Amino acid sequence: MRKLLLVTSAIAVGLIFLVRLFYLQVYNSDSFNILEDTAIRAEYNYPKRGYVYDRNGKLLVANQPSYDVMVIPREVTPLEPSEIKDFCNLLGITAEDYEKKLTKATNYSPRLPSPFVPQLSKADYAVLQEVMWKYEGFYIQKRSMRSYQTDIGANVLGDIGEVGQKEMNKDSYYKLGDLIGKQGVEKSYEDILRGVKGIRFIQKDRFNKNIGPYKNGQYDTLPKPGKDITITIDSELQAYGELLMKHKRGGIVAIEPSSGEILAMVTGPSYNPNLLVGRERNKNFSRLFRDTINMPTYDRGLQAQYPPGSPFKVINALIGLQEGVVDVNDRFSCRMGYYYGSRKLTGCHHHRSPVDMNQGISQSCNAYFVNVYRRIVDKYDDPGVSMNKWAEHAKSFGLGNFLNNDLSVGRPGRIPDGDYYDRAYGDNRWGSTYIVSNAIGQGEVEATPIQLANMAAAIGNRGFYYTPHIIKNIESDTLPSNFTVPKYTTIDKAHFEPVVEGMFDVYNEGTASTLRIPGIEICGKTGTAENFVKIDNVKTQLTDHSIFVAFAPKDNPSIAIAVFVENGYWGSRFAGRMASLMIEKYIKGETTRKDLENWIFTHSLENEYKKPYSGEPFRINGETQLQLIENYALKD
Amino acid sequence: MYRETQRRFQFDWIIILIFLLLVTFGYLNILSASHVGEITSYFDTSQLYGKQLIFVGLSFVLIILILSLEAKFYERFASIIYLVAILALIGLFIFGKDVNGARSWYGIGSMTIQPSEFAKFATALAVAKYISDIQTNMKTLKDQVRVAAIIFIPALLILLQNDAGSTIVYLAFFFVFYREGLQQVYLIVVLSLILLAVLSLKFGVTITSLIAAVVLLSRYFLRKKKRSSIIQYILVLALAIGFSFGVKLFYQHGLKVHQQNRISLWLRLEKDPLKLEQMKKAEAYNLIQSEQAISSGGITGKGFLQGTRTTGKFVPEQETDYIFSTVGEEWGFLGSSFVIILFVALIVRILYLAEAQKSQFSRVYGYGVASILFVHFTINTGMVMGLIPTVGIPLPFFSYGGSGLWGFTILLFIFVKLDSNKINEW
Ligand SMILES: [Zn+2]
């Protein structure tokens, strides 16, 4: 037995060691990750972010170098108070900021780099670079920052900003301090514009000194530059639209019907995209986002969702024809409205009566469309069946759902169907008279300006549209088929002609006859939307929104447009004028009707927008007076 | 000529093969741990790996010398060798050179010699010589005290020179004494004392006393033959409680702060996370770096000269006491298991041969060799893997250093020589 003590001890110790090694190296070993290894520092080389051009090749967004002061907290050697003071002076921060930022970075990670002072100016960088060696643990990271070549299109172009925790969790490519597209095309085309950053692995020693490339650089990668993109926007048209929208709130969306390309996408009020570049970005960003009254970051062209009003009538006309419940020559009489028995379901304005489809559209007769709509709903014994068919037709115009395109924001709008009313009223406990508001685009129907522009494009195309999109070309890449394959409506091509004629006559003899453009055949439709706000919990009506939908020329249209002006009162008053000017600007390249243009430039709605906040009772619609901008001088 | 050839083949080639493997593998790891930048010349003596190559070369000269001497020489001159070693240790107090607070080096030109590395084989020889004397009986207290004195003298001298790690190694001789007839009770006492010490530190004196009382009393009441009275049991219990107090007092007042901290970290005594963090920063830096390096090696390791932590010199003293972390990082689980298996195989082989010796001197010496290697291997590797509190002793044949390599080479090859001679014993 005495012989065995040492032998067994030796074997036992050997086994214990093997188990321990197994635990350390196999069971508990974080499989070697080059980025986690404290002996290696990854240095990033950020590629050029792709440029953004407009459809005519005009450069909109380029880059400028940006210099971030980064910190790796555990490598920071404690500084004397006087040294901290010097350093803070160079960085333009206070000594308190210094401590706060350092604590924050340490809390994030003592050994990973955190941005300390982002986006220095070039001048600051030049000074700082000379003395950087004095401050161990700090280094300057070069990145590429945006340089806007224009001050328009903030909502289209979007911006880039420091990546957030959520984005880092979603994609491990991003490290703290990286920039990422936050809005607009910067967001939707982030992957393409960004490129791929290059990595250089540096072997460090215990004292954190560089001792050369790790494994002779065999894991290092070169940065891949981001690809340039061309967007569908016509920057001149966009700029003109933004000019027209000054002193108003609203949105303009213009689409090329033959391709679905978005020519202009205006929202008002907007801001200068240069505000969101550089060190002032965060301050400006929160100022813009906190402005809940003007909401400059809310894209009214894409997100404002309202009952579209009269423009929607043409959809009912098309559905009526497709369902065979009405003929173009069917006439309906109008007695300043539509009566159900002795009850007036909807009013109308003064015009000759009875009207056929053409006049119904051009005169925008409410009674005509209630008749058509009731025939559609009453076609089947179960109104639910009829309404489901109706909704299917309406939705085939891209209404009532997200457009599924490449814009970073959007709203679905709403097209109610039979099931919707079954839920609201109970199964079969409703009929056409309950829901006649839909006949004239009021009631439950809601749409965004881009949906209305797309609807106009589908009508102009006589039955199909391309999903409206912002991307025209990606450097050495093709566009997704979603944007190149036409989407057909459920309406036969033949039914469009009479409707298009009706919309043409809106300009010829109807509600927009004053807005004709010499030499261009426009088809359009005016609209108004009643709207309400809650003031001290009282539902209060405001002046109607002014809406206009149009396309031109009548045959093979090159532009379809929707204009929406908040509290602009009636359709042709603001929206119609602006649509007419936009169409002329796009087709002719210039505007000839300077008095019309001046009217828009000199009329502001800002007083109108102040009313709900004034705390005083106010008047709306016909009882208001328009505000004139005096001494208006058109900027060159 | 014929006789010569026959004798050469009597050397145990398994031991020699394991030795060669360990020294070669050790050299490769020293190369990895010590090189800075490109390796321009393997013989660059301004670099540690260049020096180690010379040490290895000289160790082969030593081997030839040791193997060519008569086997009887070692037994005959054991006492004189021991005396010379003791004198060398004493001489340190006068001529020694301080390195890292330990006065355990002679400086000869640019070379340094550490006599404590040579005192081990000298002591092993002396112990073998004393025990193998036919008049010696390890069961008598007189001989126990005398043999204890043989190991106590060098151990004390080394301790006085502030090299606590090397002192602990002398405890290895307990295995030798036990094999040679030391009573069972010593083993029980040693194990009980270790257990008591750990329990006292971990759970405090009261709980330890209670456990001791329960164990002793249950033993008293469950025993079959009533040979001893309850008084004796109570006396043992009192001694145990006294020892428990003593350990606690010694821990609190007898140890230096860094020694306290090492034990505290090992037994996880500190509960305050803030203090623990400070303690880790102060004491466990090497250990944490070493464990991380080993852990990062994974199954197959990062490859020779490819360890990021080794290249970055993250583990201090990596070419000496922490050399095993280089193995762990660059050769992974496979390489480190290989080293563990080599050491265990070496120890087992020596013990197997020792038991086969016809001369008691050779057997005792063989046991001494195996015990010393076992203690070094256990403490060093255990420490590097974080199983044992930090104690600074080298890994035999692996760690950088001439004295260490030569000391172990002499230790081992005297046994190889003795073993080869077993046929000529009569
Ligand atoms: Zn009418």
| Bond from prior residue into A354 cis (ω within 30 degrees of 0) | yes
Residues A548 and A408 in one domain: yes
Interface size between A and B, measured as CB pairs under 8 A: 117
Residues A191 and A267 in one domain: no
Q: With CB atoms and an 8 Å threshold, state whether A6 touches B295.
A: no
Taking CB atoms and an 8 Å cutoff, what residues of chain B touch A26? 298-299, 333
One domain, residues A143 and A270: no
Checking if the pLDDT of B4 tops 60, the result is no
CA of A436 to the centre of ligand 1 (A): 14
Closest in A6, A20, A26 to B299, CB measured:
A26
Q: Is the Cβ pair A214, B296 closer than 8 Å?
A: no
Say whether both A314 and A396 belong to one domain. yes
Alpha-carbon span B4 to B68, nearest angstrom: 11
The pLDDT score that the predictor gives to residue B332 is 92
Tokens of B119: 């005192």
Separation between Cα atoms, residue B42 and residue B21, nearest integer Å: 19
Rounded to whole angstroms, how far apart are CA atoms A566 and A210?
61
Confidence of residue B8 (pLDDT cuts 50, 70, 90): very low
Q: Which residue's entry shows tokens 């959520």? A: A166
- Does any domain span residue A421? yes
Q: Which domain holds residue A517?
A: 235-287+296-632
CA A533–ligand 1 middle distance (angstroms): 29
Same domain for A439 and A512, yes or no, is yes
What are the residues facing A540 on neighbouring strands? A533
Query: A335 C-alpha vs ligand 1 centroid, how far in Å?
Result: 7
Question: pLDDT at position A34, please?
Answer: 66
Residues A449 and A376 in one domain: yes
Residues A311 and A165 in one domain: no
d(CA B103, CA B169): 18
- Partner-chain residue, chosen from B291, B316, B341, that has the shortest CB–CB distance to A24: B291
pLDDT at res. A32 = 58
Q: Same structural domain for residues A174 and A65?
A: yes
Is residue A325 in a domain? yes
CA torsion through residues B213, B216, B221, B226, sign = negative
User: CB B309 to CB A39 under 8 A?
Assistant: yes
Structure tokens at A217: 């650089």
Buried b or exposed e, range A443-454, using 16+ CB within 10 angstroms: bebbbbbbbbbb
Say yes or no for a CB contact (<8 Å) between B308 and A14: no
pLDDT bucket at B5, cuts 50 / 70 / 90: very low
Shared domain check, A259 and A211: no
Coil, strand or helix: which one is A44? strand
Question: What is the rounded CA–CA span in Å between residue B72 and residue A481?
Answer: 95
Count other Cβ atoms within 10 Å, centred on residue A632: 13
Mutate which of B180, B340, B380 to test chain A, going by most A C-beta atoms within 10 A?
Answer: B340
Identify whether residues A283 and A212 lie together within a single domain.
Answer: no
Cβ-Cβ contacts under 8 Å, A211 against chain B: 36-37, 311-312
Quote the pLDDT of residue B292.
Answer: 84
- Range B141-170 average pLDDT: 91
Cβ neighbours of residue A252 closer than 8 Å, sequence gap 6 or more: A241, A244, A245, A264, A265, A266, A301, A449, A561, A562, A563, A564, A578, A579, A582
Instruction: Return the structure tokens found at A324.
Output: 């065979």
Name the pLDDT band for B1 (thresholds 50, 70, 90). very low
List of chain A residues with pLDDT < 70: 30-37, 208, 630-636
Number of domains in chain A: 2
Q: CB–CB of B286/B317 below 8 Å?
A: yes
Question: Does any domain span residue A155?
Answer: yes
The beta-strand segments (E) located in B81-145 are 97-99, 102-108, 111-113
Please indicate, yes or no, whether residues A516 and A395 belong to a single structural domain of this protein. Answer: yes
DSSP assignment of A137-165: TEEEEEEEEEEES-SS-HHHH--EEEPPH
Residue A516 backbone phi and psi in degrees, to 5: -60, 150
- Beta-carbon count within 10 A of B169 CB: 24
Highest mean pLDDT among A203-207, A263-267, B137-141, B276-280: A263-267
CATH code of the domain covering residue A132:
3.90.1310.10
Q: Which residues of A touch B18 (CB under 8 A)?
A: none
pLDDT at res. A586:
96
Q: Give the domain-ending residue among A184, A208, A231.
A: A231
Q: How far is the CA of A363 from the centre of ligand 1 (A)?
A: 7
- Kindly write down the DSSP assignment for every residue of A312-345, as one continuous string: GHHHHHHHHHHTTS--TT--B--SSEEEETTEEE
Higher pLDDT, A209 or B364: B364
Q: Residues with Cβ < 8 Å from A191, sequence gap 6 or more?
A: none
Q: What chain A residue is nearest to B306 in terms of C-alpha separation?
A: A215
Question: How close is the nearest chain B Cα to the Cα of A75, in Å?
Answer: 15
Q: Are A476 and A535 contained in the same domain?
A: yes
Are the C-beta atoms of residues B163 and B116 closer than 8 Å to each other? yes
A2 located within any domain:
no
State the smallest CA–CA distance between residue B312 and chain A in angstroms. Answer: 4
For residue A348 the two structure tokens come to 């109308």
Q: How many residues does chain A have?
A: 636
What does each C-alpha distance from B302 to A213, A219, B325, B337, B390 come to in angstroms?
Answer: 16, 14, 12, 15, 26
Model pTM? 0.70
Helix/strand number for chain B, H first, E second: 19, 3
pLDDT in tens, A310-331: 999 999 999 999 999 999 999 9
